[in-house]
Structure 1
Amino acid sequence: MQWEWTDARYFLAVARDGATLRAANRLGVNQTTCARRIAALEEALQLKLFTRSGSGYELTDAGRALVPAAEALEAAADGFAATAGATSRGLNRALRLTTAEAFERRIAAPALAAARRRLPGLRCELEVTTDKRDLVRGDADIAIRGGPPPQDGGLICRRLGDIVWGVYRHVSYPHPVSMDAIGDHAFASVEGQALAGLKALVPEARVVQITSTLQAVIETLRAGDCIAGLPTFVGDHEADLVRCGLVDEGETDWAIWLLYPERLRGSPEVRVMADCIVEQMAATRQAA
Structure 2
Amino acid sequence: MQICMDWRSVKFDWNKARAFLVTAEEGSLSAAARALGMAQPTLGRQVDGLEQELGVVLFERVGRGLTLTPSGMELLEHVRGMGEAAGRVSLVALGQSQALEGPISISASETYAAVLLPPIVTKLRKLEPGIHVEIVVSNHASDLLRREADIAIRNFRPTEPDLIAKKIGMADAILYATPDYVAKLGNPKTPYDLRHADFINLDRSGGMLKGLNSLGLGLTEANFPLLTESYLVMWELVKQGAAIGVLDAQIGDAEPTVVRVLPDLEPLQFPIWLVAHRELTTSRRIRRVYDFLIEELKR
Mapping of residues 229-244 of structure 1, within 5 Å: 229-244=246-261
Partners of 2:202 and 2:122 in 1: how far apart? 27
2:117 alignment counterpart:
108
Matches within 5 A, 1:119-158: 119-147=128-156, 149-158=157-166
CA contact (8 A) 2:201 2:208 kept: no
- 2:170 maps to 1:162: yes
1:178 aligns with 2:185: no
Q: 1:265 and 2:284 equivalent?
A: no
Q: Which amino acid in the other structure matches residue 217 of structure 1?
A: M
In the superposition, the TM-score normalised over structure 1's length comes to 0.59
Cα shift readout 1:236-260 (whole Å, capped 9, x = no counterpart): 121211112366468x7x4010001
Measure, in 1, the Cα distance between the counterparts of 2:265 and 2:172. 8
The number of residues matched between the two structures is 193
Tell me the amino acid that sits aligned with residue 265 of structure 1: T
Instruction: Quote the Cα distance in structure 2 between the aligned partners of 1:189 and 1:280.
Output: 30
CA contact (8 A) 1:112 1:273 kept: no
The correspondence for 1:204, drawn from 215, 219, 222, is 219
Give the whole-Å Cα distance in 2 for the aligned partners of 1:257 and 1:156: 10
User: Any stretches of 5+ residues in structure 2 without a counterpart?
Assistant: 1-95
Structure 1 gap ranges (5+)? 1-84, 284-288
Alpha-carbon deviation of 1:185?
0.8
**Are the equivalent residues in 2 in contact too, given 1:164–1:246 (CA < 8 A)?**
no
Whole-angstrom CA distance in 2 between matches of 1:134 and 1:256: 17
The normalised TM-score by structure 2 is: 0.57
Amino acid at match of 1:163: A
Find the aligned partners of 1:208 and 1:280 in 2 and give their Cα distance.
37
Map residues 22-33 of structure 1 onto 2, 5 A cutoff: none
Q: Which whole-Å deviations, capped at 9, do the CAs of 1:34-59 have from their partners, x for residues lacking one? A: xxxxxxxxxxxxxxxxxxxxxxxxxx
Per the TM alignment, residue 86 of structure 1 is displaced from its structure 2 partner at its CA by 6.0
2:289 is the counterpart of 1:280: no
Could you tell me how far apart the structure 2 residues matched to 1:179 and 1:278 are?
37
Does the 8 Å contact 2:234/2:245 carry over to 1?
yes
What SS does the aligned partner of 1:136 have? helix
Specify the SS of the correspondent of 1:106.
helix
